[in-house]
Amino acid sequence: MYRAIAGFIGSVAVIVSLGAGGGVAAQRDEAVPANLSPTVDNPFFPLAPGSSRRYEGQEVDPDSGETIDVRVREHVSPVPEEIAGVAVTTLSVQEYDDGQLTETTNDYHAQGPDGTVYYLGEHVNMYEDGQLASHEGTWIAGEDASQAGEFMPAEPRVGDRMAQEQAPGVAQDISTVVAIDLTMETPVGTFSGCIKTQDLNPLDQEIEHKYYCPEVGLVREESADGSLDLVSVTGG
């Protein structure tokens, strides 16, 4: 008798488990485009495995009015990871203000068959006085109402609008291409055929301008508080 009941309960549990899993899978299927690849070689946002970049600049602290030296380090993982059920390339980012670590993120990207780069989420660590303070800003496509964002088109044109982050109430960056065929002089060289984007964060209404160059990627960021420039590229 016990065995029969136990067998019946076990069968029900399997059915419920499969049903729940199917629901999660369906949710993720809707949140993430099909046929994505962890190989990200879009000319305007290349993520060569094992490569590293360093950015330096200054910004004004809106509270104190003091000028802060900002340094950002990026490293592309040589091994793909799985996020939202698909293989992705991880871009690890560390940000320092006046030499003190303030934020680290693992950003997850993948590329569609046409060359479009998608953003599938990020894990965030925020620091205060050298101590981990929060994970504010973390989101993953397929969890809650979050969806993969279009980070970089295959062939950017003026007027292209990308919802790069689609995590309601958490991260909702929108990027618009405002200029193409620019020439940029940077600490690592002079590049032609570059594009400029205007990035809006609807949550705080902050606006940034970013410049991307072919085969290099992001070379400069500008905001009302300051700017950041690419100063070195290694590997890849």
- State the average pLDDT for the chain: 88
Residue 11 lies in a domain: no
176 confidence band (pLDDT: 50, 70, 90): very high
| The total number of structural domains that make up the chain | 1
100 found inside a domain: yes
pLDDT above 60 for 25 = no
Tens digit of each residue's pLDDT (9 = 90 or more) over 197-217:
999 988 778 899 999 999 999
- Token reading at 86: 């698909």
Mean pLDDT of the region 6-12: 37
Asked if residue 215 belongs to a domain, the reply is yes
* pLDDT tens-digit map of 114-169: 999 999 999 999 999 889 999 998 999 999 889 999 999 999 999 999 999 888 88
Q: What pLDDT shows up at residue 173?
A: 87
SS3 218: strand
Tokens for 152, please give them: 């970089």
Can you give the pTM of this predicted structure? 0.85
How many CB atoms lie under 10 A from the CB of residue 158?
12
Q: What are the start-end ranges of the H helices in 112-174?
A: none
Structural contact between residues 158 and 178, judged by C-beta atoms closer than 8 angstroms: yes
**Which CATH number belongs to the domain containing residue 225 in this structure?**
2.40.360
In a domain, 2, yes or no: no
Domain that holds residue 172: 32-234
The pLDDT assigned to 169 comes to: 81
Burial of 90 (0-12, 13-18, 19+ CB in 10 A): buried
Report whether pLDDT(189) > 70. Answer: yes
Query: Hey, what are 201's tokens?
Result: 């964060």
Distance separating alpha carbons of residues 157 and 104, to the nearest angstrom:
31
Question: Is residue 170 pLDDT above 60, yes or no?
Answer: yes
Residue 5 lies in a domain: no
20 falls within a domain: no
Residue 23 lies inside a defined structural domain of this protein: no
Residue 86 maps to a domain: yes
Between CA 31 and CA 45 the distance in angstroms is: 22
pLDDT at residue number 181: 97
Range 117-148 burial, b when 16+ CB lie within 10 A, else e: bbbbbbbbbbbeeeeeeeeebbbbbbeeebbb
Take residue 8 and report the two structure tokens written for it: 């019946």
